[in-house]
Amino acid sequence: MQTFAFWALAAAAVGTGVAVFAVDSMARATFSLLASFLCVAGLLLLAGLQYLGALVVLMMVMEMLVMAVFMIMYMMNPAGLMPMTMVHNRRGALLVSGGLFAVMAAGILLVRWPERRGRPPADPTADLGMALMGPKMLVMMVIGIAILATMIASVVLAVRGGRYGRAEGDGAGGDGANGGGAG
């Protein structure tokens, strides 16, 4: 069952990754990219890397949501749904990406891989955290919370009425019943 899940997730990750460049709108490309990242997170979870899998899910969902919000706010076409091409210089992009894929595939197949030495650690997540961050783990956790608060604050402040909506009588169309409105 795990083998089937691996190949299904791998095929879905590649398929949705290709869809990023095949669809004709920015919104569809965003959600295709999110689907690809979620499939990769599923692969990480299958490999027993729960922390990295959860991290990919949380980071990519938040990133794609912020990207979608900014697309809706700032793009000239409504919500990025109008047709547009996602690839410029299609022939050059195909040549570069095909050549890069061939080089990377050759590297995978031709490089002599080292044999495993020793045993896997008892808690790979803790060992990975110490290897990546060392004693700075607490600082990075605090920074992560600060970044999340910044993203939430930017979305709250970006809505038309601000955090509390428009005040009554300011000409913005607030309903006045609860100190604000949809504006």
Question: In whole angstroms, what is the distance from residue 23 CA to residue 36 CA?
Answer: 14
Question: In whole angstroms, what is the distance from residue 133 CA to residue 153 CA?
Answer: 27
pLDDT digits (tens, 9 = 90+) for 70-119: 777 777 666 566 677 666 788 898 899 899 999 999 999 999 888 888 88
| Cβ within 8 Å of residue 72, ≥6 positions away | 78, 79, 80
- Can you say whether residue 176 is alpha, beta or left, with left for phi > 0 and alpha for psi between -120 and 50 degrees? left
Q: Scan for tokens 């990219």, then name that residue.
A: 33
Question: In whole angstroms, what is the distance from residue 161 CA to residue 174 CA?
Answer: 9
pLDDT one digit per residue (tens) for the chain, 183 residues:
889 999 999 999 999 999 988 887 777 888 899 999 999 999 999 988 888 888 888 888 888 888 877 777 777 666 566 677 666 788 898 899 899 999 999 999 999 888 888 888 888 878 887 887 777 877 878 888 999 899 888 887 777 665 566 655 555 544 544 444 444
**How many Å from the N-terminal Cα to the C-terminal Cα in the chain?**
52
Cβ distance 150 to 156 under 8 Å? no
Q: What is the pLDDT of residue 50?
A: 84
Question: In whole angstroms, what is the distance from residue 39 CA to residue 13 CA?
Answer: 5
- Domain spans in the chain, listed from the N-terminal domain onward: 1-82, 123-183
